[in-house]
Amino acid sequence: MDPLFDFTDKVVLVTGGSRGLGYQMVTAFSERGADCIIASRKIENCEKVADEVRARGRKAMAYAVHAAKWDELDAMVDAVYAEFGRIDILINNAGMSPAAPSEQVSEALFDSVVGLNFKGPFRLASQVAKRMNEADGGVIINVSSSGALQPLPYVVPYGSAKAALNAMTRSFAAEYGPKVRVNTLSAGPFLTDIAEAWPEEQRNGSPNAVGRNGNPEEVVTAALFLASPHSSYVDGAIVRCDGGLYLGQ
């Protein structure tokens, strides 16, 4: 095991952990010795990933949760602490980005997008950070988007919610430091299942320095870096994992 990325016996909670970037992160941490809680809407998908974690000799919990609903998030935190006694690493990864002309966005859609991308992560991070701060500390990673850093039409509620998440990262780092480190992983375009709905031209290229979209497994090292205790001087940061996206264009 590389000592820089040894997470033996660490407890990692990943929302949206049953697919996409969340699944890649669960896989990476469990391969490096961590016990994992896989949280998502559909319990059967969470159970499938939990079985994969157990097959690696690690403990796992599958938990069905709506990551925008505070009562469900609070119940999940209680359940995880009852089972594992702590959370060492929280990855706020659940999100959604439906596209629509802004004048057509309904109040229900607006609330849903902001709820999942900001309101829910705020509640979960605040409750876990409090417990981390009262114990031995920990790490929180908020998975954001390049959409928070550049003007993108048709996804204004999403980009705005992710921008709020970025601001939350810095504020939480100040509020719960030095025992709790809080950072943002700002993801660019990745070829997860969501990319299946993209036009072919968008799937085949990206306006970034590497000239392509990311493969899901390419998010792994950024997450491991932010979670590693050897990154102890990285706090309140936005770490871009977007292939050198040309922001603002």
Distance (Å, rounded) from C-alpha 56 to C-alpha 106? Answer: 44
Per-position pLDDT tens, the chain of length 249: 788 999 999 999 999 999 999 999 999 999 999 999 999 999 999 999 999 999 999 999 999 999 999 999 999 999 999 999 999 999 999 999 889 999 999 999 999 999 999 999 999 999 999 999 999 999 999 999 998 999 889 999 999 999 999 999 999 999 999 999 999 999 988 887 675 666 677 767 788 889 998 888 999 999 999 999 999 999 999 999 999 988 865
Which of 231, 229, 142 minimizes the C-alpha distance to 187?
Answer: 142
Q: What dotted CATH number matches 3-241?
A: 3.40.50.720
Phi, psi of 113 (to 5 degrees): -65, -50
Place of tokens 């009262």: 134
Distance (Å, rounded) from C-alpha 185 to C-alpha 28? Answer: 16
**Catalytic one among 23, 63, 81, 158?**
158
Longest CA–CA span in the chain (Å) reads 52
Which of 10, 70, 22, 79 minimizes the C-alpha distance to 46?
Answer: 22
Cis bond upstream, residue 3 (ω within 30): no
CB 165 within 8 A of CB 184: yes
Which of 71, 73, 18 minimizes the C-alpha distance to 40?
Answer: 18
Q: CA gyration radius for the chain?
A: 17
CB 83 within 8 A of CB 50: no
What's the pLDDT at 248?
66
Residue 178: C-alpha distances to residues 52, 90, 123, 138, 175 (Å): 34, 16, 20, 10, 9
Query: pTM to 2 decimals?
Result: 0.94
- Is 158 considered catalytic here? yes
Specify which residues 180 forms β-bridges with.
138
Place of tokens 């939350």: 168
